[in-house]
Amino acid sequence: MKFRRKQRENVDINLASLIDVVFILLLFFVVTTTFTRQTELRVDLPEAVSGSPAEDQNVKQLDIAISAEGVFSVNNQVLEKNDLNSLMDALQKESGGDTKLPLSISADGKTQHQAVITAMDAAGKLGFSHLRMSTVEAASQP
Protein backbone atom coordinates (compact mmCIF):
# COMPACT_ATOMS: atom_id res chain seq x y z
CA MET A 1 0.00 0.00 0.00
CA LYS A 2 1.11 3.37 -0.87
CA PHE A 3 0.20 6.22 1.48
CA ARG A 4 0.33 9.65 0.15
CA ARG A 5 1.66 12.37 2.29
CA LYS A 6 -0.44 15.45 2.55
CA GLN A 7 1.04 18.61 1.26
CA ARG A 8 1.95 20.88 4.14
CA GLU A 9 0.62 24.36 3.98
CA ASN A 10 3.02 27.16 4.56
CA VAL A 11 2.10 28.91 7.78
CA ASP A 12 2.52 32.67 7.62
CA ILE A 13 2.25 34.97 10.57
CA ASN A 14 0.52 38.18 9.75
CA LEU A 15 2.89 40.79 11.13
CA ALA A 16 0.56 43.71 10.50
CA SER A 17 -1.96 42.57 13.11
CA LEU A 18 0.85 41.66 15.52
CA ILE A 19 2.30 45.16 15.23
CA ASP A 20 -1.17 46.64 15.78
CA VAL A 21 -1.65 44.65 19.00
CA VAL A 22 1.79 45.62 20.33
CA PHE A 23 1.12 49.28 19.48
CA ILE A 24 -2.22 49.23 21.30
CA LEU A 25 -0.57 47.64 24.36
CA LEU A 26 2.11 50.31 24.29
CA LEU A 27 -0.52 53.05 24.13
CA PHE A 28 -2.43 51.45 27.00
CA PHE A 29 0.65 51.40 29.24
CA VAL A 30 1.60 54.97 28.36
CA VAL A 31 -1.89 56.30 29.08
CA THR A 32 -2.38 54.39 32.34
CA THR A 33 1.06 55.12 33.81
CA THR A 34 1.05 57.49 36.75
CA PHE A 35 4.00 59.69 37.51
CA THR A 36 4.60 60.52 41.14
CA ARG A 37 6.06 63.78 42.30
CA GLN A 38 7.58 64.14 45.69
CA THR A 39 5.90 66.72 47.79
CA GLU A 40 8.03 69.80 48.15
CA LEU A 41 7.50 73.30 49.34
CA ARG A 42 8.60 76.25 47.26
CA VAL A 43 10.63 78.45 49.58
CA ASP A 44 12.12 81.80 48.56
CA LEU A 45 14.90 82.29 51.06
CA PRO A 46 15.72 85.75 52.42
CA GLU A 47 18.98 87.36 51.36
CA ALA A 48 22.02 87.96 53.54
CA VAL A 49 25.29 89.75 52.81
CA SER A 50 27.49 87.69 55.10
CA GLY A 51 27.39 84.09 56.21
CA SER A 52 29.28 80.84 56.05
CA PRO A 53 28.53 78.11 53.54
CA ALA A 54 27.11 74.82 54.68
CA GLU A 55 29.64 72.32 55.93
CA ASP A 56 30.04 68.76 54.66
CA GLN A 57 26.95 67.75 52.67
CA ASN A 58 27.62 64.03 53.19
CA VAL A 59 26.69 64.22 56.88
CA LYS A 60 23.08 63.36 57.61
CA GLN A 61 21.17 66.46 58.58
CA LEU A 62 17.63 67.57 59.21
CA ASP A 63 15.98 70.34 57.24
CA ILE A 64 12.83 72.17 58.28
CA ALA A 65 11.31 74.15 55.41
CA ILE A 66 8.59 76.69 56.11
CA SER A 67 6.52 78.11 53.26
CA ALA A 68 5.13 81.64 53.11
CA GLU A 69 1.78 80.29 54.37
CA GLY A 70 3.46 78.69 57.41
CA VAL A 71 3.34 75.07 56.16
CA PHE A 72 6.12 72.93 57.68
CA SER A 73 8.05 70.16 55.97
CA VAL A 74 10.79 68.03 57.52
CA ASN A 75 13.28 66.58 55.01
CA ASN A 76 10.83 67.26 52.12
CA GLN A 77 7.95 65.50 53.89
CA VAL A 78 5.06 67.96 54.26
CA LEU A 79 3.40 67.77 57.67
CA GLU A 80 -0.36 67.41 57.87
CA LYS A 81 -0.68 69.76 60.85
CA ASN A 82 1.28 72.96 61.39
CA ASP A 83 1.56 72.85 65.15
CA LEU A 84 4.38 72.37 67.63
CA ASN A 85 3.53 68.76 68.57
CA SER A 86 3.40 67.44 65.01
CA LEU A 87 6.69 69.22 64.20
CA MET A 88 8.34 67.72 67.28
CA ASP A 89 7.04 64.24 66.39
CA ALA A 90 8.38 64.56 62.83
CA LEU A 91 11.78 65.76 64.05
CA GLN A 92 11.97 62.93 66.59
CA LYS A 93 11.07 60.39 63.91
CA GLU A 94 13.55 61.72 61.32
CA SER A 95 16.44 62.09 63.75
CA GLY A 96 15.91 58.77 65.48
CA GLY A 97 16.55 60.51 68.81
CA ASP A 98 20.01 61.79 67.76
CA THR A 99 20.04 65.44 68.83
CA LYS A 100 23.65 65.91 67.68
CA LEU A 101 22.54 66.09 64.02
CA PRO A 102 22.76 69.54 62.42
CA LEU A 103 19.34 71.14 61.97
CA SER A 104 18.72 73.65 59.22
CA ILE A 105 15.67 75.94 59.13
CA SER A 106 14.77 77.27 55.69
CA ALA A 107 11.95 79.79 55.92
CA ASP A 108 10.44 81.76 53.08
CA GLY A 109 11.20 85.48 53.12
CA LYS A 110 7.51 86.23 53.67
CA THR A 111 6.96 83.68 56.45
CA GLN A 112 5.47 85.00 59.67
CA HIS A 113 7.90 85.12 62.58
CA GLN A 114 5.65 82.85 64.63
CA ALA A 115 6.23 79.89 62.29
CA VAL A 116 10.02 80.30 62.54
CA ILE A 117 9.82 80.65 66.33
CA THR A 118 7.69 77.49 66.48
CA ALA A 119 10.38 75.59 64.54
CA MET A 120 13.11 76.93 66.82
CA ASP A 121 11.04 76.08 69.88
CA ALA A 122 10.54 72.49 68.70
CA ALA A 123 14.28 72.13 68.10
CA GLY A 124 15.07 73.58 71.51
CA LYS A 125 12.60 71.35 73.35
CA LEU A 126 14.08 68.26 71.71
CA GLY A 127 17.63 69.34 72.58
CA PHE A 128 19.11 70.12 69.16
CA SER A 129 22.21 72.27 69.59
CA HIS A 130 23.49 72.65 66.00
CA LEU A 131 20.96 75.02 64.49
CA ARG A 132 21.41 76.82 61.17
CA MET A 133 19.23 79.38 59.37
CA SER A 134 19.35 79.15 55.56
CA THR A 135 19.60 82.25 53.40
CA VAL A 136 20.67 83.06 49.86
CA GLU A 137 23.52 85.40 49.00
CA ALA A 138 22.35 88.92 48.30
CA ALA A 139 22.75 90.09 44.73
CA SER A 140 25.56 92.58 44.38
CA GLN A 141 24.36 96.05 43.50
CA PRO A 142 26.18 97.92 40.72
Q: Which pLDDT band, with edges at 50, 70 and 90, does 46 fall under? A: low
Q: Say how many C-beta atoms besides its own lie within 10 A of residue 95's C-beta.
A: 20
Q: Is residue 115 assigned to a domain?
A: yes
CATH code (residue 120): 3.30.420.270
Q: What is the pLDDT of residues 85-121, one digit of tens each?
A: 999 999 999 888 888 888 888 888 888 888 888 998 9
Check: CB of residue 26 under 8 Å from CB of residue 59: no
Report yes or no on 89 lying in a domain: yes
Domain coverage including residue 97: 60-136
Number of domains in the chain: 1
Q: Which residue has the higher pLDDT, 136 or 117?
A: 117
Instruction: Note whether residue 55 is domain-resident.
Output: no
In the prediction, which pLDDT does 12 show? 77
On whether residue 50 sits in a domain, the answer given is no
Q: Identify the band that residue 59 occupies on the pLDDT scale cut at 50, 70 and 90.
A: low
Q: Is the residue at 110 inside a domain?
A: yes
Q: What confidence score (pLDDT) does residue 22 get?
A: 93
By the 10 Å C-beta count (0-12 exposed, 13-18 middle, 19+ buried), 106 is classed as buried
Domain membership flag for residue 53: no
User: Nearest 5°: phi and psi at 56?
Assistant: -60, 125
Beta-bridged to residue 65, according to DSSP, are: 73, 106
Name residue 11's amino acid: V
Confidence check: pLDDT of 6 > 80: no
